[in-house]
Structure 1
Amino acid sequence: MPHTHFNDKFIANIGKTARKLFVSGDAVLIAVSGGADSVALLHALTILAPGLSLKLGIAHLNHQLRGENSDKDELFVSELAETLNLPCYLAKEDVLAYQKIHKLSLEEAGRRVRYEFFEKIRKEHGFDKIALGHHADDNAELILMNLLRGSGALGLSGIPSARNGNIVRPLINITRAEIMDFLTRQNLNHVSDDSNSDTRFLRNRIRHELIPILRDYNPGISGNLNRMSAILKSEEEWIESLITPAFEDCTQPLPRPLSETERGDPISEKGNIGRLPLPCREGGRGVRFSLSKLKSLHIAAQRRLIRKAIMMLKGDIRRITFDHIEAVISLSEKNSGSKNIHLPDRIRIEKNNEGIMFIREHQSLRMPESDKTILYCYEILSPGRMFIPEIGATLNFSYKTTEEIGEIYHVEQTLAFFDADVVQFPLHIRNFRPGDRFNPLGVNGTQKLKTYFINVRAAKTDRLQCPLVLCKGEIIWVAGYRTGEFGKITPKTQKVLKAELFSGGSIR
């Protein structure tokens, strides 16, 4: 136990913050890595606990990233907990394996695993709050990271002192220098993590390279960034109070998922789509915006409402960029047809005549054959252009007379012609699904589309991205490759539907 008292300035400053974060009788789970920040937090709360009537516990997750050093950190925390006579909850997690499975950065994988562990312990052992060791310099670094990424006011408001009602940060107004001074004065040991000096990580480059340069311009840069953060945070809270009523006015919950019997089987026997996915799939959940109400608002309000809907579904807006928000706004402004946009973390945005829906899917939207390709499916109701944002390609449909089209048998593969009396709207445009079958023009019978792609030596990425045009559940054009038998031009054709593919990507 450190030899200090409440007149200690360090403890007094943490006490001011702690009184805003805790209520008498709270059970607090302290996340302790063994590093300087978490050790200082642990000892500070140990000192403050009697006066605030707090019950304390310790949680430590071994990330297994540093071999024996990770095990030594775990032992250090265990012995520290025993010295302080506090319950200690330990666990190991293979973060590298988690990273590979979930296709995340190492930093994000570690963060997810930690928070899941802390929340699990909190629930299982009856803790009210989880206390983390983020401090003022961490906040300054995050603000600069978000600034470099082009974040708006929300990102520049930094790390909140409390989140979700149970994540709290008592050190958020304390600097790293104050923490190290406290540990030195109290002769408190801690462990060091060499990865904190690894400048391959952006946060470390900001800490060790950018901030020292900025201090040459303004020695108080960290304090100024934290002050800006506090101003923006209070303004965000005020704006949120204005946005919430607008959100409630513009949205309504989606109806319950339909049962299998009620919704039928959307996949035909040939593996082709017979109709678009339902607004709320089994396991999905979301909200529907009124298009007219959303579009009547100022563009800034629209962006905030869209972010709020995503936040509601996934719990945060990590990996959601300005371009994602603008894509949703662009979708809302289109005047015809159903459209889909897929965002990170299984968020699907779908627009139809009833409104624009935000849905969190239970299963991944990614294709099983490729972690880099996302399922897409669009409906086009009439001739015109349609952009497919997932692949950066555009399809254009127009009616022509037989005299206008001329020779059709030796045209580029980015063009296709169909009998407009046979091929009628609506058409569906999507990418490959397992089990798809295709009857190429001039061939008797169908074959697996996968086999066709192999025979024409299509690259795997092209196979998974290639737009397929379907009419009545039949694939009529493998865009950029070949048309099908269904809807082919015959001597009896009077009216022609011309289809064109334009792309800046890998699709030909």
Structure 2
Amino acid sequence: MDLAARIRRTAEREGLWQPGDTILAAVSGGPDSTAMLHLLRRLSGECGFRLAAAHVNHGFRGEESAREAEFVRRLCEELGVPLDAVEYDLPSYIEETGMNAQAAAREKRYAFLRSAAARRGASRIALAHHADDQAETVLMRLLRGAGTSGIAGMPMKRREGNVELIRPLLRISKLELLQYCAREGLGYCEDSSNRKTVYFRNAVRLEILPFLERYNPNVSASLVRLAEISRAEDDFLTREAERAMAGLVRREQGGFAMERGAFLGLHVALQRRLITLILIYLGVEKGAIPFERIDAIREAAAEGSPTTSVIEAGRGVRFLREYDVLRWMTGDAAGDDAGFEYEVTADVRELAIPEAGGRLVFRRMLRAAGEPLPSPGAESRCAALFDEDAVAYPLRVRSRRPGDRMRLAGLNGSKKVQDIFVDGKVARAMRNRIPLVADAEGRLLWIAGIRRSADAPVTEDTTRILRIEWQDDTLEVWRC
């Protein structure tokens, strides 16, 4: 099967294009992109897509770069392919920005390709990376310590903004492309910088791969196969992590949380992938999450680890283990909050508390002498009953303060609110957000969702009952 037929079969299998598409080919003038442009030109008629080309002169190599630009212009003219070309002064841009040469060139090149695609109405940009490039990429990432996602190499297609980047040559070797150019009588340009081993990729191509080929002549094919296998497994793990995210992780104010038991029930590979996914959702770039940090979080959740711990996860994100709850929080949500306080008069029926992510609902009931007391079900962790005549208005609903204490039934004296939180295994990150209800005499009546005080109990003598209920806007803000 010739190269054009192989590319067409790959395109159909991978969905690289559809009839009616406009494809913008990135053409440098080297043998790879020259062969790609020629092959796409052959395929455009039978596959029903329109073809345009783009060329970037980075301004690194003076006359050599100018000759490449002219070569691409003539090639596109001969093939009848419209061309967009640009010339940059990259050395000056690098000096201004302090970026390294390769990063600066890539930034400018892809920005121009996207703008050219927009001008031409192209939905896809074709890049000329081939199988040898893939082998080099996988080996480079292996040497840098990449995991499954990294050694998956370059994808056949990838969405970037409004366009899709496609690599139709990714399963074709460099030798096959050179042979194609020779058969078709295609000239091409040689980039002299490709021989400089100061660049890591060039060193891999010119020194490391030839050394490895002494032990395995097919090492490049093995690396490409490794990329194919890793990409499929990476895609599977990503989907499973997204499923776990949807089923086990709940969104909270400022971040995400999940039960430690559910996390420990996942396979270790899925634990790592889920941690990565959560951090990405919270704005940490994928490439900025080292393996050591991911495993530190995983180990903090493990059996035998301290029941409370905090790990800085990067970009202002903190991981918190708080007993049997795991939390990933951003910004102020991961630290101390500013606090809040609201006044509640005797006619208030509902009080929204955005700082706590919910509301308090006040219901007042009359009880005639001799009537039965409310059933035990009227009270719960999220609802408490009080003798309203024993409560001094206005009530104060506020966050905790240093030294707060509350009288508890069966206890002589009072107990620190801090100790009540610890006994109740209340997450440290949540403690400043839990509403405390106090009356006008300063008595703490209720820690919403946690504990009621011994003050103002409902008895046989009670004629007016005040019921206070906490309702969450989010799920299980503090296990209520």
TM-score past 0.5 threshold: yes
After TM superposition, give the deviation of residue 167 of structure 1 in Å: 0.9
1:122 corresponds to 2:121: no
| Preserved CA contact (<8 Å) 1:250 1:289 | no
Q: 2:244 aligns with which of 243, 246, 250?
A: 246
Normalising by structure 2, what TM-score?
Answer: 0.60
| Preserved CA contact (<8 Å) 2:53 2:76 | yes
| Preserved CA contact (<8 Å) 2:126 2:168 | yes
Q: 2:257 aligns with which of 290, 295, 304?
A: 290
Q: Percent identity?
A: 32
* 1:366 alignment partner in structure 2: none
Q: What are the superposed Cα offsets for residues 88-116 of structure 1, whole Å, 9 maximum, x if unpaired? A: 11223343444455554322332232222
1:35 corresponds to 2:3: no
* 1:178 alignment partner in structure 2: 176
| Preserved CA contact (<8 Å) 1:134 1:169 | yes
After TM superposition, give the deviation of residue 152 of structure 1 in Å: 1.4
Q: 1:12 aligns with which of 5, 23, 40?
A: 5
After TM superposition, give the deviation of residue 233 of structure 1 in Å: 1.8
Q: What are the superposed Cα offsets for residues 49-80 of structure 1, whole Å, 9 maximum, x if unpaired? A: 10100111111122121122222222222222
Letter in 1 for 2:235: E
* 1:217 alignment partner in structure 2: 215
Letter in 2 for 1:350: R
- Tell me, in whole angstroms, the C-alpha distance in 2 between the residues paired with 1:334 and 1:112: 45
* 2:316 alignment partner in structure 1: 348
- How many residues in Structure 1 have an aligned counterpart in Structure 2? 326
1:160 corresponds to 2:162: no
Kindly tell me: are residues 340 and 313 of structure 1, through their superposed partners in 2, closer, same or farther at Cα, counting changes over 3 Å? closer
Kindly tell me: are residues 324 and 116 of structure 1, through their superposed partners in 2, closer, same or farther at Cα, counting changes over 3 Å? farther
- 1:303-322 aligned at under 5 Å gives the runs 303-309=272-278, 317-322=286-291
| Preserved CA contact (<8 Å) 2:300 2:309 | no
Q: What are the superposed Cα offsets for residues 383-418 of structure 1, whole Å, 9 maximum, x if unpaired? A: xxxxxxxxxxxxxxxxxxxxxxxxxxxxxxxxxxxx
After TM superposition, give the deviation of residue 24 of structure 1 in Å: 1.3
Q: Please say which structure displays the higher CA radius of gyration.
A: 2
Q: 1:49 aligns with which of 44, 48, 56?
A: 44
Q: 1:58 aligns with which of 35, 53, 59?
A: 53
Gaps of 5+ in 1: 1-7, 256-278, 280-287, 360-375, 382-423, 427-508
* 2:192 alignment partner in structure 1: 194
After TM superposition, give the deviation of residue 197 of structure 1 in Å: 1.0
Q: What are the superposed Cα offsets for residues 12-52 of structure 1, whole Å, 9 maximum, x if unpaired? A: 22222222311111110101111111111000000011010
- Tell me, in whole angstroms, the C-alpha distance in 2 between the residues paired with 1:315 and 1:187: 49
Q: 1:302 aligns with which of 267, 271, 277?
A: 271
- Tell me, in whole angstroms, the C-alpha distance in 2 between the residues paired with 1:142 and 1:85: 33
Letter in 2 for 1:121: A
- 1:247-396 aligned at under 5 Å gives the runs 247-251=245-249, 279=254, 288-292=255-259, 295-296=263-264, 297-309=266-278, 317-326=286-295, 329=298, 340-342=312-314, 347-351=315-319, 355-357=327-329
Kindly tell me: are residues 228 and 340 of structure 1, through their superposed partners in 2, closer, same or farther at Cα, counting changes over 3 Å? closer
| Preserved CA contact (<8 Å) 1:339 1:379 | no
Residue 173 of structure 1 aligns to a residue whose secondary structure is coil
| Preserved CA contact (<8 Å) 1:339 1:377 | no
- Tell me, in whole angstroms, the C-alpha distance in 2 between the residues paired with 1:128 and 1:315: 29
- Tell me, in whole angstroms, the C-alpha distance in 1 between the residues paired with 2:250 and 2:73: 49
Residue 166 of structure 1 aligns to a residue whose secondary structure is strand
Residue 329 of structure 2 aligns to a residue whose secondary structure is strand
- Tell me, in whole angstroms, the C-alpha distance in 2 between the residues paired with 1:45 and 1:199: 32
| Preserved CA contact (<8 Å) 1:290 1:355 | yes
Q: 2:201 aligns with which of 187, 200, 203?
A: 203
- Tell me, in whole angstroms, the C-alpha distance in 2 between the residues paired with 1:56 and 1:79: 16
- Tell me, in whole angstroms, the C-alpha distance in 1 between the residues paired with 2:293 and 2:93: 26
After TM superposition, give the deviation of residue 232 of structure 1 in Å: 2.0
Letter in 2 for 1:321: P
1:77 corresponds to 2:72: yes
Gaps of 5+ in 2: 338-400, 404-480
Kindly tell me: are residues 190 and 251 of structure 1, through their superposed partners in 2, closer, same or farther at Cα, counting changes over 3 Å? farther
* 1:142 alignment partner in structure 2: 137
- 1:437-456 aligned at under 5 Å gives the runs none
